[in-house]
């Protein structure tokens, strides 16, 4: 599966490009493709908000982690600023994905 990036910025695969790929490769109409992509990401986001991990076989795991409050510092002024407790999403790539990514590198000399 290949896709083109229309920007000089770091390449990014967008939801619109994913919908276009569904349209081209699976044959869904464009509306169905867009709705399917939107539903997929809504389901993922809702699961993460509820605290449920999202595991995609062969791709990786999205997990919610709670970070404790801690002291921070404004780098410009050096002023101490408390950082509030918060929940963050972490992603851990599967071994298959890591192997695919490493397969693109030339062998070390």
What is the pLDDT, as a whole number, of residue 11?
A: 84
Residue 10's pLDDT band (boundaries 50, 70, 90)? confident
In a domain, 3, yes or no: no
Domain, as residue range, for 63 = 53-109
pLDDT, one tens digit per residue, over 37-83 is 999 999 999 999 999 999 999 999 999 999 999 999 999 999 999 99
Question: Cβ(64)–Cβ(87) under 8 Å?
Answer: yes
What is the pLDDT, as a whole number, of residue 70?
A: 95
In eight-state DSSP terms, residue 51 is T
**Same domain flag for 107 and 58:** yes
Which residues are within 8 A (CB) of 83 and not within 5 positions of it... i.e. 6 or more apart? Answer: 69, 70, 71, 72
Separation CA 21–CA 34 (nearest Å): 10
What is the pLDDT, as a whole number, of residue 76?
A: 94
Give phi and psi for 62, each to the nearest 5.
Answer: -105, 125
In a domain, 106, yes or no: yes
Count of structural domains within the chain: 2
């Amino acid at each position: 599966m290949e896709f083109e990036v229309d920007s000089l910025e770091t390449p990014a695969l967008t939801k619109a490009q994913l919908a276009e790929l569904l349209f081209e490769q699976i044959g869904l109409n464009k509306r169905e493709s867009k709705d399917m992509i939107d539903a997929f990401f809504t389901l993922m986001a809702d699961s993460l908000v509820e605290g449920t991990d999202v595991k995609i076989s062969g791709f990786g795991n999205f997990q919610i982690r709670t970070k404790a409050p801690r002291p921070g510092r404004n780098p410009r002024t050096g002023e101490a600023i408390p950082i509030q407790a918060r929940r963050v999403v972490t992603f851990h790539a599967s071994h298959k994905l890591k192997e695919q990514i490493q397969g693109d590198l030339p062998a070390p000399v």
